[in-house]
Amino acid sequence: MTIRVVITSQDRPVYSGDADIVVVPGTLGEMGILPNHSPLLSTMKFGVIKVRHKDEELVFTVAGGVVEVQPDQVTILADAAENVDEIDIARADAARKRAEELLAKGLPQDSDAYLTLQAALQRSNLRLDSVRRYRKSRI
């Protein structure tokens, strides 16, 4: 028995397929979701989604969003999400450096620009760390 998984980010569909288990980063901790799970609605924090089916595991980064669980389907609406194998390392590293440089200029910590840069830095670090930890063909 499997559970259907649909991951969608703000700009595109990211994944659709079956899984034996889905692990998502809920705001209160990781959640493992199996087929016939009780209905659930939760927010997600920055982290990693793991979709396991048979002998294959797919890993996706997620930058917040919501997850809806039904007994036969998991629907993830992410602020941003991508498959770890598709992450452009050079682009993620450039974004990290750019955010660090701009944060070093000393913006007020309660400003929107500061919070935006903090989120960009967190997302870049998540992407780079995920590539190191989970990418199948490490470069």
| DSSP 8-class letter at 92 | H
Band of residue 106 on the pLDDT scale cut at 50, 70, 90: confident
Looking at CATH, the fold of the domain delimited by 88-134 is given as 1.20.5
| DSSP 8-class letter at 86 | G
Percent of the chain with pLDDT over 70: 98
Residue 119 sits at the vertex; the CA angle it makes with 5 and 46, to the nearest 5 degrees, is: 30
pLDDT in tens, 48-75: 999 999 999 999 999 999 999 999 999 9
> For residue 110, with 0-12 CB atoms within 10 Å meaning exposed, 13-18 middle and 19 or more buried, which class applies?
exposed
Structural domain spans, the chain: 3-84, 88-134
**Is it the case that residue 139 has pLDDT exceeding 50?**
no
**Is it the case that residue 136 has pLDDT exceeding 80?**
no
Band of residue 113 on the pLDDT scale cut at 50, 70, 90: confident
CATH homologous superfamily of 3-84 equals F0F1 ATP synthase delta/epsilon subunit, N-terminal (2.60.15.10)
SS3 at position 41 = strand
Task: Write out the two tokens for 93.
Answer: 């590293």
